[in-house]
Amino acid sequence: MVRVISQETYDEVVRENIEEFSMSPEEAIKEAVEQFKAQGVDLTNIIKDLSLNDGANDITSCIKKLSECTKSKEHEHAAPLLNKLRSELEKDIARRVFAGKNGAYSILLDVMTSCKDDPILLRLALKTITALMTGNPDLLDETGIQLQKRLLESNHSDPQTLQLILKWIRECCIKHELNRQKIFKAGILDDLKSILAERDASIAVVKEVCVVLRALTLDDDLRHDFGKAHEHATAIARQTLQTLTALLSTYKTDKIVVGEIMLTAAALIVRNEFCKEFEEAGGLEFILDVFTNHPDVEKINWQALKLLKSLAGNDDVKTHIVTSGLAPLIIYAISRFKGSEAVVTAGLGCISALTLKSSSNAGVFYDGGAVSIIIDVMKAYPNSVNVMQHAAWAIRNMSVRNNIESREFIACGVEELLNNALTVHTKTLESDIKAALRDLGLQVQLKEQWTGKGHALKNDQ
């Protein structure tokens, strides 16, 4: 079990090291850190040099002075204080936790409320509270959520401020399930949808809206076994998927926004009908254009591959993806970006999804040279769990209904690669790799997961 201590306890030990053992400040800190770590204490949220630093009171001093500025409405003194506080908060998580415990959150809410008509000061406050809550989202409360809503609704015509509001909201959603649920319940989707629907929405704002939409669909909070990622994605898709698809054409010349929209669509397409809806809106043709127009842009190729994998959840769309000519482009993307583990993993995921229970799709990938590419990336990434897992899935799905074609894998030496992977990744990938070996018709030792004890069944009737 991880142990924690307070900042005061840590500071007291450092002072004792200096006063009682005549250590230098550097020695005192090093000794205290080693001592606590040996005891299994987590020092992540501890500021190591707080008691020794001449600027140790910077955080508490800034918070106090900001409170005084808000009460006296002397906002002209707030700007340098906000900049100074943000500079401290950006140093590490320990300072952010310390500031949160000393009232920084509520003071910054007061500052934003009182200076909502001063865009320059409001932006500074938004940057500061975003710094405060980066990796520290527990501070958000109902007052903060309502302020986020009001600021969104009143700053549609100010792209700079709008971007900062959206960045703050995103940080509140990262690794915090309850925040996501409360923000969603507050009706933020209506505001985000309204921003996307504006004809003159700036590229930067559209990008930030996409980031927030994806953040609302995350499932990354280990403190909660069950979240509402699927429910959020479904609700967002129903209200925004058509708009997002239309925006692909609107911003087709900007690869950054196009990539963000595709990645967002991939996160939202969690139901069969959404795959069809995206296709009917011309989505496949657009993805085809992306591969054709941006063959050398790694990130947008990765984003397109992620979207294609999501679309493969619909059997009809899966067939249309292959028949529309996207299969060779997928293979080509993996080949072209073999040096990118992210693109390779996404590409193998595409092949796996598109060939699942589809021998005809698998045949197209065989004809397109997928086997040699899969073999090449397995050789290039023998220690990557993600690559080897997705490769095993792709091999299995391409082989299970294509026994004759699957001999190409064997001829290329896949057996040795899979057995080597089995040795390296036994704990994590044993079942996946053995399934691939089995469906290739190769020798594999399978474990019987459950066996009876040999007793005869009894009939009580």
Tokens of 171: 């940080």
Choose from 18-27, 43-52, 371-380 the range with maximum mean pLDDT.
371-380
Contact of 145 with 183, CB cutoff 8 Å: yes
Instruction: Read off the pTM.
Output: 0.87
Q: What is the pLDDT of residue 395?
A: 97
Q: Which residues of 283-295 are buried (b: 16+ CB within 10 A; e: fewer)?
A: bbebbbbbbeebe
Integer-rounded Cα Rg, in Å, for the chain is 28
Q: What is the pLDDT of residue 54?
A: 47
The share of the chain scoring above pLDDT 70, in percent, equals 95
Q: What is the pLDDT of residue 10?
A: 85
Q: What is the pLDDT of residue 308?
A: 97
Could you read off the pLDDT of 55-92 as tens digits, one per residue? Answer: 447 899 999 999 999 888 878 889 999 999 999 999 98
Q: What is the pLDDT of residue 90?
A: 94
* Nearest residue to 392 via CA among 400, 44, 2: 400
Tokens of 82: 């906000």
Tokens of 86: 């943000």
Higher-pLDDT residue of 2, 137:
137
Q: How far apart are CA 229 and CA 356, in angstroms?
A: 25
What are the structural domains of the chain? 1-56 (no CATH), 312-444 (1.25.10.10)
Mean per-residue pLDDT of the chain? 91
Could you read off the pLDDT of 298-341 as tens digits, one per residue? Answer: 999 999 999 999 999 999 999 999 999 999 999 999 999 999 99
Place of tokens 């992540």: 44
- CA-CA-CA-CA torsion sign (70, 74, 77, 83): positive
Is the predicted pLDDT of residue 264 greater than 90, yes or no?
A: yes
Higher-pLDDT residue of 449, 401:
401
Q: How far apart are CA 368 and CA 355, in angstroms?
A: 13
Could you read off the pLDDT of 343-368 as tens digits, one per residue? Answer: 999 999 999 999 999 999 999 999 99
Span 389-417, mean pLDDT?
A: 95
Using CA atoms, how far residue 401 sits from 295, 356, 419, 439, 441, in Å, is: 32, 10, 22, 9, 12
Span 206-218, mean pLDDT?
A: 97
Could you read off the pLDDT of 23-59 as tens digits, one per residue? Answer: 888 888 888 888 888 888 888 888 877 655 544 478 9
Q: How far apart are CA 390 and CA 436, in angstroms?
A: 11
Query: Residue 274: is it exposed, middle or buried by C-beta count within 10 angstroms (0-12/13-18/19+)?
Result: buried
Is the predicted pLDDT of residue 15 greater than 50, yes or no?
A: yes
Lowest mean pLDDT among 139-143, 181-185, 345-349, 442-446: 442-446
